[in-house]
């Protein structure tokens, strides 16, 4: 029976599956021999060893994997966790049991917070397993070894495993848990590995079973026929051929220009984006400067990082998103108050308004970077709800000397007020991940409602059309910077709805570039109208394909 999940990317893989080993068994709830100091010293040594191992793996992996692994290493050095472990050992627990209980308690806390923090619970569990394995003197569970290529199946994958996958052996990833923004998904995209996450029934697949996994179709086919295998291999060859086509600027078959931009998370991502043909940056996430800091970075530190990225794109557009943090990504210096529903709380621009000096410092640093480089800098605010918030951000940024200022459309109310928003903003960029989440009232981190997190849903597409129409009437840019832009078929529909630029993970640029070149603007609009007339996401996808 076919299995379905949430596909990451457009890749296809054919091969036998290999299951991740089971996690280490839970430590016995037994008292230690009596020397609490020695027990804690051993735990401290294990913490330090795991932190060093994760940091070293990050340095080897580089790129997005390095950032993920360094964040995991910081978990292994968290003084709050160490204090909790010590207290449990002093109360009589063994080091192994104390680590297990302390980390499990923190995982439960993160899961209860939901959103971004809930996704980090898996990472914390991996760190716990590694520390316990070190205390036991056994290898930590990890990716199975194999002499032949295979498709990896797991409950979920830890950053330390995903970051250093042997791409000559691992053809694709299938996980029971996880969503489109989990670390498994993020790293799969950065490595161009086909992945399908949130697959009910994934753990029922038997080692050695041959499967076809089609990330674009969100589909896993166990024990496929010879005809299906031949078809899949043909499509794999076709995708490889697309990747080898000389890079040109994004355009439709009739010559209509559609600039293809890159989503990046740090300056180090710049060279790879350029190499893959990015015509600029449509989303530069600035959170990397803030999330691992106990205090807000200085204006000088920020300027240096922003200038480093801008230097890779002389004369080209680089869209920088102001700090997108808050209750779902708590920062002690921004907003650490507990909220029952962080996705609807003090986050994005709301949090920045409440701590305006942090916003002023960031905009000041961006102005200095704008003046120091030749890139065409655009700046936008996250999580903007209406025209009043738009005016606040645009007026503030322009008073500091920034030239091109806009907002992100992630909240449905912004699309409803699109005409007023465009009267104040220079541009709007649509974050389809959050726009879909809020339109469908489905947490994008929650596997049980992953089926609702589909940007093909006509409700989401109608909001994009409202923005596209308002942008066209105002003569202003409407960009797409969510994951929807990385879906070649959906990219065509988005252009038909009025999107003027598309921004995506750099690995998706070749597929989208090739697909856009097959349709005219009139054909794209026809496909968009067919999708809008549907009542379901699946129906919209099928209608667009047939139009």
Asked if residue 186 has pLDDT above 90, the reply is no
User: Which of 98-112, 159-173, 205-219 has the highest average model confidence (pLDDT)?
Assistant: 205-219
Rounded Cα distance, 388 and 54, in Å: 45
Domain 3-21+143-242 annotated CATH 3.50.30.10:
yes
> SS3 of 230, please?
helix
More confident residue, 442 or 226: 226
CA 192 to chain CA mean position, Å: 13
Q: Is pLDDT at 183 greater than 80 in this prediction?
A: no
Q: Which helix (H) or strand (E) holds 381?
A: strand 376-381
> What is the Cα–Cα distance from 413 to 418, expressed in whole angstroms?
8
Higher pLDDT, 502 or 76: 502
- pTM here? 0.73
**For 50-68, how does the pLDDT look when each residue is reduced to its tens digit (9 = 90+)?**
999 888 877 776 766 677 7
How far apart (Å, rounded) are the C-alpha atoms in residues 255 and 257?
Answer: 6
Rounded-to-integer distance, Cα 384 and Cα 418, Å: 12
Q: Which residues are catalytic?
A: 183, 481
CATH topology of domain 245-546: TIM Barrel (3.20.20)
Domain ranges (residues) in the chain:
3-21+143-242, 36-136, 245-546
pLDDT in tens, 410-430: 999 999 999 999 999 999 999
User: How far is Cα of residue 355 from the mean position of the Cα atoms in its chain?
Assistant: 26
What pLDDT, on the 0 to 100 scale, is given for residue 448? Answer: 67
More confident residue, 226 or 245: 226
At 230 the pLDDT is 96
Q: Does pLDDT of 397 surpass 90? A: yes
Provide φ and ψ at 429, rounded to 5°: -120, 130
Integer Cα distance of 123 and 177 in angstroms: 13
pLDDT at 3: 96
Predicted confidence (pLDDT) per residue in 329-373, tens digit: 567 677 666 777 777 888 899 989 989 999 999 999 999 999 999
- Predicted confidence at residue 77, as pLDDT, reads 84
pLDDT band of residue 86 (cuts 50, 70, 90) is very high
> Which burial class, exposed, middle or buried, applies to 529 when counting CB atoms under 10 A from its CB (0-12, 13-18, 19+)?
middle
pLDDT averaged over the chain? 89
Q: What is the pLDDT of residue 446?
A: 61
Is pLDDT larger for residue 318 or for residue 119? 318
Q: Which of 114, 122, 132 is nearest to 156 (CA)?
A: 122
Topology (CATH) of 36-136: Enzyme I; Chain A, domain 2 (1.10.274)
Task: Give the separation between CA 320 and CA 367, rounded to whole angstroms.
Answer: 11
Average pLDDT rounded to a whole number, residues 298-306: 95
Which burial class, exposed, middle or buried, applies to 34 when counting CB atoms under 10 A from its CB (0-12, 13-18, 19+)?
Answer: exposed
- 330 in Cβ contact with 288 (< 8 Å): no
Q: Of residues 231 and 23, which shows the higher confidence score?
A: 231
Q: Do 259 and 504 meet the contact criterion of CB atoms below 8 Å apart?
A: no
How far, in Å, CA of 466 to CA of 453, rounded? 20
For 32-54, what is each residue's pLDDT tens digit? 887 899 999 999 999 999 999 88
Question: Contact at 8 Å (CB) between 397 and 433?
Answer: no
- Going by pLDDT thresholds of 50, 70 and 90, the confidence category of residue 238 is confident
Average confidence (pLDDT) over 248-263 = 96
């Amino acid at each position: 029976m076919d299995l379905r999940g949430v596909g990451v990317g457009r890749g296809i893989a054919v091969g036998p599956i290999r299951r991740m080993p089971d996690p280490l068994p839970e430590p016995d709830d037994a008292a230690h021999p009596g020397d609490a100091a020695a027990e804690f010293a051993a735990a401290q040594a294990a913490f330090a060893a795991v932190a060093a191992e994760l940091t070293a793996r990050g340095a080897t992996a580089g790129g997005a994997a390095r950032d993920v692994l360094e964040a995991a290493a910081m978990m292994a050095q968290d003084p709050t966790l160490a204090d909790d472990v010590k207290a449990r050992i002093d109360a009589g627990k063994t080091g192994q049991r104390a680590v297990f209980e302390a980390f499990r308690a923190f995982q439960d806390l993160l899961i209860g917070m939901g959103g971004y923090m809930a996704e980090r619970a898996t990472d914390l569990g991996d760190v716990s397993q590694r520390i316990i394995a070190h205390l036991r003197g056994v290898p930590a569970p990890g990716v199975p070894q194999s002499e032949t290529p295979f498709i990896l199946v797991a409950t979920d994958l830890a950053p330390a495993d995903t970051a250093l996958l042997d791409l000559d052996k691992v053809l694709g990833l299938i996980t029971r848990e996880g969503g489109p923004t989990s670390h498994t998904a993020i790293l799969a995209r950065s490595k161009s590995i086909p992945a399908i996450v949130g697959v009910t029934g994934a753990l029922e697949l038997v080692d050695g079973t041959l499967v076809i996994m089609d990330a674009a179709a969100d589909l896993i086919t166990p024990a496929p026929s010879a005809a299906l295998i031949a078809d899949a291999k043909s499509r794999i060859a076709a995708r490889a051929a697309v990747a080898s086509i000389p890079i040109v600027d994004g355009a439709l078959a009739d010559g209509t220009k559609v600039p293809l931009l890159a989503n990046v998370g740090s300056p180090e991502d710049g060279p790879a984006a350029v190499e893959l043909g990015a015509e600029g940056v449509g989303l530069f996430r600035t959170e990397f400067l803030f999330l691992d800091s106990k205090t807000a970075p200085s204006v000088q530190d920020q300027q240096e990082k922003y200038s480093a990225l801008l230097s890779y794109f002389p004369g080209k557009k680089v869209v920088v998103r102001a700090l997108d943090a808050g209750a779902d990504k708590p920062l002690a210096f921004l907003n650490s108050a507990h909220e029952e529903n962080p996705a609807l709380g003090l986050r994005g621009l709301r949090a920045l308004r409440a701590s305006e000096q942090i916003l002023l410092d960031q905009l000041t640093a961006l102005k200095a970077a704008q003046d120091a480089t030749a890139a065409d800098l655009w700046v936008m605010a996250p999580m903007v709800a209406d025209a009043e918030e738009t005016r606040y951000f645009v007026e503030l940024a322009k008073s500091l000397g920034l030239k091109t200022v806009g907002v992100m459309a992630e909240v449905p109310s912004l699309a409803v007020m699109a005409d007023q928003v465009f009267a104040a903003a220079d541009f709007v960029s649509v974050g389809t991940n959050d726009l879909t989440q809020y339109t469908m009232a489905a947490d994008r981190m929650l596997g049980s409602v992953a089926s609702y997190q589909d940007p093909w849903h006509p409700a989401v597409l109608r909001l994009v059309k409202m923005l596209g129409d308002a942008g066209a009437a105002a003569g202003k840019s409407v960009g797409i910077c969510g994951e929807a832009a990385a879906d070649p078929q959906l990219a065509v529909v988005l252009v038909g709805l009025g999107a003027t630029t598309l921004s995506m993970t750099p690995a998706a640029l070749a597929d989208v570039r090739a697909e856009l070149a097959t349709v005219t603007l009139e054909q794209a609009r026809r496909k968009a109208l067919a999708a809008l007339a549907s009542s379901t996401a699946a129906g919209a996808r099928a209608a667009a394909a047939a139009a």
